[in-house]
Amino acid sequence: MTDTRRASLASIREMKDRDELFHDPAAPTGVEELGPEFWAKARLEPARSSKAVHLKLDPDVFEFFKRQGKGHLTRMQDILKAYVKAHTHS
């Protein structure tokens, strides 16, 4: 699994100074370098729009997710998506 975190420019510079960043000099630097084989297999998904709704939650449910920190609304959305996927026959 890819480790994705938010980092400030200062923390990235500190990581660089500690030699904790990895750079693959053979990695493509531009779209042109990816070539037609890459693009033939690329899977492009259309942009999806969200729908804003007002949702009432029990306070203990909301606080459970909020205690987990930033991104609690996204985590709630992800759980709802997983529930829908598990209960959809397709």
Per residue in 36-76, pLDDT (tens digit) is 888 788 877 777 788 888 999 999 999 999 999 998 999 99
Q: Report d(CA 75, CA 5) in Å as an integer.
A: 15
What mean pLDDT comes out for the span 1-11?
Answer: 73
- What is the residue whose two structure tokens read 């729908």? 51
pTM above 0.75, yes or no: no
Contacts of 35 (CB under 8 A, 6+ apart): none
